[in-house]
Amino acid sequence: MALRTIRLEGDKVLEKVCRPVTKMTPRIKTLIEDMFETMYDAYGVGLAAPQVGILKRICVIDVDGEHPFVFINPEIVEKDGEQTGEEGCLSIPGMVGLVTRPEHIIVKAFDENMEPFELEADGLLARACCHEFDHLDGHLYRKLAKGPLHRAGETEEQESPEEEETEEL
């Protein structure tokens, strides 16, 4: 396994639509292993192949550190409800934005053995799936964020000390 370089916002590969995977190969198995290692090293909960420069429809997700998922050629077949919360991205490090996503989704995909599966996801897992699947179509969460992105750990009202002082005057 090896760490891969995470592509950052502005890299054109993040704007491209990924190609479907038609068969499992040793190179794709290695890619999946590397994606998990890269994601964990960066303290992420999800990573899509274009984020490491590969235009394949592959994502890895592990929201709790205990249940890693591989999604190959994922497709959301049902969604309902709504959740709004802060979202970040390894390709836009240190920044978060307020994003509304479905509360509940049903996904069809293939696993790392190219076996089809269906997953019902709620909450953070549903959010992570939607976020990572967007990467496969060349979309970053910034386009869905309500208002500007801000540094993680800061509220929008506390973006800079100068603004805080001005507001108090």
Whether 67 has a binding-site annotation, put simply, is no
Following DSSP, what letter does each residue of 17-41 receive, concatenated? Answer: PPBPP-S--HHHHHHHHHHHHHHHH
- 93 falls within a domain: yes
- Here the CATH number for the domain that contains residue 115 is 3.90.45.10
Residue 18, annotated as binding a ligand: no
Number of domains in the chain: 1
- Asked if residue 86 is part of any domain, the answer here is yes
Residue 4 lies in a domain: no
Picking from 144, 141, 123, the residue whose alpha carbon sits closest to that of residue 81 is: 123
Residue 3 lies in a domain: no
96 in any annotated domain: yes
Instruction: Identify whether the C-beta of residue 22 lies closer than 8 Å to the C-beta of residue 54.
Output: no
Predicted pLDDT of residue 160: 41
Is 75 among the domain residues? yes
Task: Tell whether 131 is in a known binding site.
Answer: yes
Q: What is the mean pLDDT of the chain?
A: 92
Residue 158 in any domain: the answer is yes
Q: What is the pLDDT of residues 94-142, one digit of tens each?
A: 999 999 999 999 999 999 999 999 999 999 999 999 999 999 999 999 9
What amino acid positions are annotated as catalytic residues?
132
How confident is residue 155, by pLDDT bands cut at 50, 70 and 90? low
Range of the domain at 156: 12-168
**Any domain includes 143:** yes
